[in-house]
Amino acid sequence: MLSWARNSTIYRINRRMHTEKQLFDAIARKAREKFEDIGEVQVRAVAEFAVKFAYDNKALDDAAFAEMSTRSGMRGGRSRRAIAQKLSQKGVASSTVAAAIAEADDFRAALILARKRAFGPFRRGELDEKRKAKEFSAFARAGFSFDIGKRIFGMSLDEAEEALDAGRDL
C-alpha cells in the first residue's frame, strides 16, 4: 500500500504542482477508491506517508506554490484579494498567503484586466452610463477597489501603456 502511495505521489507531482492539502486529499480519495476494505485510520496514514514522501524529496513546497500562483494571477489580471482567496481554498496557510501576496501590485493587475477586457483607457467605443457601470462592476467582482477602478478610468491610453511597460518584469 505504501509503494502505491509513493508511486501515486510521484505521478501526481510530475503532472502538476500541488499544495500539501491537495496532495493529501487526492491520495486519500484515490486510496478509498482503490482499496475497498481500507479504514479511515489507514487512509490517513497512507495520505500522511505520501505528503511526507513528497516533502522528503523536496517536491512539495506551499510557499513556492503560493509565489508562483501569485505571479501567474497578477499577470492574468487578478487582484490580491482574489489570489489570496484561491490560495486559501487550496489549503495554503494564511501566513504563507500573506507573504506571497505582499509584493503584489493591485494597480498593475487591474490595468492588465482593463487591457484584456478593453475597459477604461483601452476601450474602443464611446462610454455611456450603462457601459461605465458594467466596467466598474467587473472591477469590483474581480476584487479591485473603487479607487483603483476610478484611477484607471482617469488614465489616457498612453499613460496606461506606459504604466504597464514600467512593470514588465512580472
Cell triple for 126 = 464611446
Q: Which helix (H) or strand (E) holds 152?
A: helix 146-153
Quick one: how many helices (H) and strands (E) in the chain? 10, 0
The Cα–Cα gap between 61 and 54 comes to 9
Tens digit of pLDDT for each residue in 93-116? 999 999 999 988 899 999 999 999
Average pLDDT, the chain: 90
| 112 backbone dihedrals φ, ψ, rounded to 5° | -65, -45
User: One-letter amino acid identity for 150?
Assistant: K
pLDDT band at 22 (very low <50, low <70, confident <90, very high): very high
The Cα–Cα gap between 137 and 96 comes to 30
Query: Is 48 a residue whose pLDDT tops 90?
Result: yes
pLDDT band at 45 (very low <50, low <70, confident <90, very high): very high
pTM comes to 0.80
